[in-house]
């Protein structure tokens, strides 16, 4: 879940750091998220949640319907970031109580029903779908959603799965990664690169609604001694899919222990997504 808010200097995104001992992406700075549970697809959500956004159907499979994906995204964002979209909205104090009940084992639908709330799935905006490269031993099919920060909520890490959290401008997070202070995976980097071009949450939502939502499955290309290894995205000459599935560069090259976005000289067919670029001032990156 890519949670966004408007700051005086521009848009900010909520990030968390995964626990260093996590079996996948340990220590990386990411957006809150996780796996779909069986309860996320329970029939009760037809009455306990608003309808998911229509474009979420592009993410759905037989094993993971759109509603299940949206419920999972909301539940995981509550667990890892203390943020939850509900109708009507929860306050900061209320969401702490909801989080404690969920951690104690009470199903989320029961927690909401007792308070007369619905999960606001309609607030989610489909953004992108990334699939782990075939070369990886553990593979994931990850769907990304934008979420404007619900009124009255702040966001914080849980201290278990996530060990640090902060709000910052997308460009500031990228700069921090460039200096080697944090590690970002390519899907996170690409999201931040695109969001760096927008001035406010409204523009980010408009950008999300123009995304093609086609699966992005990078192809790992090993180095040959002279050139470093890299991940080729659809549209890169080294990828079997000639059509670009995302705006931006077509590969991430492994340099000095991190993946750097680079464009190959021979480009695949472009996609055209109009982006609103407006100047904005920068603020210091100072995570709590």
Three-state DSSP class for residue 167: strand
More confident residue, 46 or 272: 46
Helices (H), 134-249: 170-178, 186-195, 201-208
Torsion angle defined by CA atoms of residues 66, 219, 179 and 28, in that order, rounded to the nearest 10 degrees: 40
Residues 223-277 have pLDDT tens digits of: 887 889 999 999 999 999 999 999 999 999 999 888 899 987 544 444 444 444 3
- Residue 34's contacts (CB-CB under 8 Å, 6 or more residues apart) are 72, 75, 76, 79, 80, 161
The pLDDT confidence band at residue 137, using thresholds 50, 70 and 90, is confident
Domain map (residue ranges) of the chain: 2-208, 215-262
Q: What is the mean pLDDT of residues 74-98?
A: 93
Task: List the CATH code of the domain at 2-208.
Answer: 3.90.79.10
152 within 8 A of 92, measured Cβ to Cβ = yes
By mean pLDDT, which of 28-32, 54-58, 88-92, 118-122 is the weakest?
88-92
Q: What is the pLDDT of residue 283?
A: 30
């Amino acid at each position: 879940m890519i949670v966004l808010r408007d700051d005086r200097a521009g848009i900010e995104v909520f990030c968390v750091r995964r626990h260093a001992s996590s079996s996948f992406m340990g220590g990386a700075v990411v957006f809150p998220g996780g796996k779909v549970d069986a309860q996320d697809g329970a029939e009760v959500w037809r009455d306990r949640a608003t309808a998911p956004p229509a474009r979420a159907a592009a993410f759905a499979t037989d094993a993971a319907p759109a509603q299940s994906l949206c419920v999972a995204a909301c539940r995981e964002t509550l667990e890892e970031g203390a943020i939850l979209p509900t109708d009507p909205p929860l306050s900061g104090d209320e969401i702490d109580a909801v989080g404690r009940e969920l951690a104690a084992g009470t199903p989320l639908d029961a927690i909401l029903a007792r308070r007369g709330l619905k999960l606001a799935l309609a607030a989610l905006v489909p953004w992108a779908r990334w699939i782990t490269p075939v070369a990886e031993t553990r593979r994931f099919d990850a769907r990304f959603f934008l979420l404007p920060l619900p009124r009255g909520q702040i966001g914080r890490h849980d201290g278990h799965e996530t060990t640090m959290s902060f709000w910052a401008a997308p460009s500031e997070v990228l700069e921090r990664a460039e200096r080697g202070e944090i590690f970002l995976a390519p899907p996170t980097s690409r999201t931040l690169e695109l969001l760096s071009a927008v001035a406010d949450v409204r523009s980010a939502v408009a950008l999300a609604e123009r995304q093609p939502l086609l699966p992005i499955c990078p192809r790992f290309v090993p180095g040959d001694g002279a050139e470093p290894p890299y991940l080729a995205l659809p549209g890169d000459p080294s990828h079997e899919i000639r059509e670009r599935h995302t705006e931006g560069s077509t590969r991430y090259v492994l340099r000095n222990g991190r993946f750097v976005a680079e464009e190959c000289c021979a480009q695949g067919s472009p996609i055209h997504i109009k982006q609103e670029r407006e100047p904005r001032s920068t603020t210091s990156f100072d995570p709590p």
